Amino acid sequence: MSRLPRGKNARADDGTEAVREVPAHLLTASQAQVIFAEGRIRKPEEQKQVLQAKGVQTRAAKKTATADPKTGKIRIGRYRFTRGELLAVISELFPPPDDETGGRERIATVHLSEEEHRRFRLAAADAGISGDRLFRLALHNAGIL
């Protein structure tokens, strides 16, 4: 370890799919055993061989958010949220833009059957515009806007 320049990082392969740069002074004893050998730093391929010899199985990185179909909630870490709770928080981060008049936009709810909604989405996709823009155009064409 004395050959590693002070303040430099060692490449650590700790069983995950990713190779991480870790400051040498923050390595655990087991990581140091995997990284260093006979006065040299092992290459990532050698580190994987050492881990396999120790019986450490490589694993893919965990996803930070998962869906629970039973409860209909989204799990982030050890917390569970409904879709509505997450959308409410996201809407606080990204508020809707002001309209052309400079005031806040109003939300209009339109009840559509599943078939009407499907046709609406297809029409917007065919026109290459968002559903919001298609709705505004329809209201404008009807003389409402």
pLDDT per position as a tens digit, 38-47: 888 888 888 8
Angle between helices 131-141 and 114-127 (to 10 degrees): 90
3-state class of 67 per DSSP?
strand
Residue-level pLDDT at 7: 46
Given a contact cutoff of 8 angstroms between Cβ atoms, the answer to whether 64 and 77 are in contact is yes
Distances (CA, A) of 67 to 49, 74, 76: 35, 4, 9
Whole-prediction pTM value?
0.30
What percent of the chain shows pLDDT beyond 70? 72
Domain segments of the chain: what residues? 9-54, 62-95, 97-145
What is the rounded average pLDDT of the residues 15-42?
Answer: 77
